[in-house]
Amino acid sequence: MSILDWHENDRPREKLLKFGANSLTDAELLAIFLRVGVQGKSAVELAQDLLDHFGSLHNLLTANQTTFCKAKGLGSAKFAQLSAVLEMSRRHFESGLQQLDAFTSPELVARFLEHQIGHHHRERFGVLFLNQQHELIEYQTLFEGTINQASVHPREIAEAALNTHAAAVILAHNHPSGDPSPSEADIHLTKQIHNALDLFDIRTLDHIVLGDTGRWSSLAKLGKMP
> 206 and 137 share a domain?
yes
Distances (CA, A) of 208 to 33, 76, 123, 190: 32, 34, 13, 10
What's the CATH number where 106 sits? Answer: 3.40.140.10
> 64 and 111 share a domain?
no
Calculate mean pLDDT across residues 95-101: 59
Calculate mean pLDDT across residues 113-139: 87
- Number of domains the chain is built from: 2
Is 122 within a domain? yes
Does 1 score more than 60 pLDDT? Answer: no
Distances (CA, A) of 10 to 14, 16, 37, 128, 202: 8, 10, 16, 43, 55
- Return the minimum-mean-pLDDT range out of 18-22, 85-89, 141-145: 85-89
What is the pLDDT of the chain when averaged over all its residues?
A: 86
At 60, the pLDDT band (50, 70, 90 cuts) reads confident
Check residue 142 and give its pLDDT: 92
Check residue 182 and give its pLDDT: 95
Neighbours of 135 (CB within 10 A): 15
Neighbours of 209 (CB within 10 A): 25
Does 220 score more than 80 pLDDT? Answer: yes
- Long-range interactions of 62-70: CB distance < 8 A, separation 24+: 62/119, 62/120, 62/121
Is 96 within a domain? no
Q: Which domain holds residue 186?
A: 101-218
- Which residue, 57, 90, 123, sits at the end of a domain? 90
